[in-house]
Structure 1
Amino acid sequence: MIDKEQPVIERLDDLQLQAQGHEAVMPRQFTLWSLIAFAIAVSSAWLAVSSLLTTHLTFAGPVGATWVPLVSGVASMIIAAGLAELASAYPSSSGQYQYVSRHDPYHS
């Protein structure tokens, strides 16, 4: 049952779930700010950048310290976009295992 007082995004999510034959039973308790804070805490981006910056400076100099994080960030975004495509094509709770098992030519 769709509640008319829910935000529009949550109602659209509930409609998508109903179209797939599921029902939303878990409460949505994260706000936008709590999701951003959680993402930063989990990724620990500042810690990773600061620990790798000395390696970039030592082996590649200032130019490497500038370009290596940018290139690796773009590569990470490409990988994330590919995984998002797979997640939208095959929605499942088993994560990457589901995609690999469907696309592995040796174990099909």
Structure 2
Amino acid sequence: MTINKSLLTGSTTMLILKLLEDQDMYGYQMIEELAKRSDNTFSLKAGTLYPLLHTLEEQEMISSYEENVDSARVRKYYSITKKGKGMLSEKKNEWQAYISAVNQVLQGGKNFETI
């Protein structure tokens, strides 16, 4: 099933922060890992990812560092900061509240909380 791209817009930051919570990654690695973990539902383009990473770095949610991959190449890695972990926690809570509300509407307004 194809997912409407507008649904992805609000969750991209949360997904990127989650990837970086698990381990430091470079840009292309994030694109690949996100696609892998989502069975190719999420396929970010570099033109979408890098501006987001730049913004998150400006907001101090992530930081970056460079590492030599081989003698000719330097790769830029990103890691989540303490502030970014706090934001991830907030985003997860928002997401849970959102899907709970959507499910409640889809189920006819009945609240099916576990007892």
Q: TM-score, normalised by structure 2?
A: 0.27
When Rg is computed on C-alpha atoms for both structures, the one with the higher figure is: 1
- Larger relative contact order, structure 1 or 2 (CA cutoff 8 Å, min sep 6): 2
Could you tell me the TM-score, scaled by structure 1's length?
A: 0.28
Relative to its length, the structure with more strand (as a share) is: 2
